[in-house]
Amino acid sequence: MPYATYINKQINIPYLLKIGYGKTAKVGKYLYDKDLMNIALFLGEGIEDILGDVLYKGFAEQGIKVVYKQIVKNIDIEEINKVAFSLPAETNALLGIGGGKALDYAKYAANLLRLPYISMPTSTSNDGFCSPSSSLLVGGKRTTVKSSIPFGVVVDLDIIKNSPKICFYSGLGDMISKVTALTDWKEAALRGQARYNDFASMMSYNSLDILFLKHSTDIMAPEFQRSLTNSLLTSGIAMEIAGTSRPASGSEHLISHALDKISKKPKMHGLQVGIATYLCALLQNNHETEGIKNILTTTGFFDFVKQDTFDKTEFIKALELAPSIKNNYYTILSEPDSFERAVLLLEQDKILQELIK
């Protein structure tokens, strides 16, 4: 690519970044410090009952005004367009608080208006709380659309620790996927089908180290939860730096997207991605395969997924569809023998046999 493409690219990173305990009470102060006094607030369902009192008390203390408030139920892109452009003119920033939908909604609306967006996740089940894209309904279909990276990220670990176990397992699955995603990216670049970015790649590798080199694999341990948050956040920023989702998403994400389209009842993103990562690592003959297997075993990830197994017919259909999910996107699934090899692994691999029935 011409050099000019690089020097013109703008990279954003969160300007406001707070991860710790008791942060909900301080959101008002953080907004005040950045002179963001008039807020449009987007909340996930049930969030206001849990956080409202503490949050609004903090707002009142700092003189923060909520000029618009919405409980997010629907993530249809048309609706977001309408709402975004009808927000009061005095709006300085958009604040999204919730699991996934409220964050995707507010992030996209803020991107349309070129206003600062502050992301406050109530669980860390995927890297969406600090990524440059939103998962929305376009023409009724779940689609990943370009957004912008948050201006601010506030993570209250007091809230995160109370989220259900499935959220931590999902976050773990979304993190481990960097191993196969980075391999796919490298291979695509070697074939001249993707542009590699060393710094983004290093960040994505570092995001894995943060989580797996530091401490025990007890997903309920406070250190693990803090590191998982840091890792997912770093992974989101790696995508921004690369200008593509490549550092965080490869063949394993294609399988998960295909499962979303095919399954009667898709499972949480990171659970699908985690299992697909193990399968894709085997297909890639990835030298980290043993490491992936160990982590997903010792953390209890495989045992957790075993409680509600994948449907084999659906999984095979997803494997068939996966390579065509994205155009001109080389991954291990683009290799002509991958489908057959994958189906054979579902039959023969002891772990996969127990998870996909």
- Residues of this chain that interact with Zn ion (CB under 5 A) are 174
State the minimum distance, in angstroms, from the CB of residue 46 to Zn ion: 24
Helix (H) or strand (E) holding 198: helix 198-212
Task: Choose between 82 and 141: whose C-beta lies nearer to Zn ion.
Answer: 141
CB-CB contact of 252 with 333 (8 Å): no
Task: Choose between 87 and 248: whose C-beta lies nearer to Zn ion.
Answer: 248
CB-CB contact of 95 with 51 (8 Å): no
Task: Choose between 93 and 130: whose C-beta lies nearer to Zn ion.
Answer: 130
Helical segments of 8-146, H only: 27-33, 47-62, 77-85, 101-113
Task: Choose between 58 and 100: whose C-beta lies nearer to Zn ion.
Answer: 100
| Residues shown for the chain | 357
Q: Which residue is nearest to Zn ion (CB)?
A: 174
State the minimum distance, in angstroms, from the CB of residue 127 to Zn ion: 6
State the minimum distance, in angstroms, from the CB of residue 82 to Zn ion: 28
CB crowding 11-35: b at 16 or more within 10 Å, else e = eeebebebeeeebbbbbbebbbebe
CB-CB contact of 345 with 283 (8 Å): yes
State the minimum distance, in angstroms, from the CB of residue 232 to Zn ion: 9
**DSSP helix/strand/coil, 243:** coil
Any idea which residue has 């993530």 for tokens? 75
State the minimum distance, in angstroms, from the CB of residue 270 to Zn ion: 7
Task: Choose between 95 and 160: whose C-beta lies nearer to Zn ion.
Answer: 160
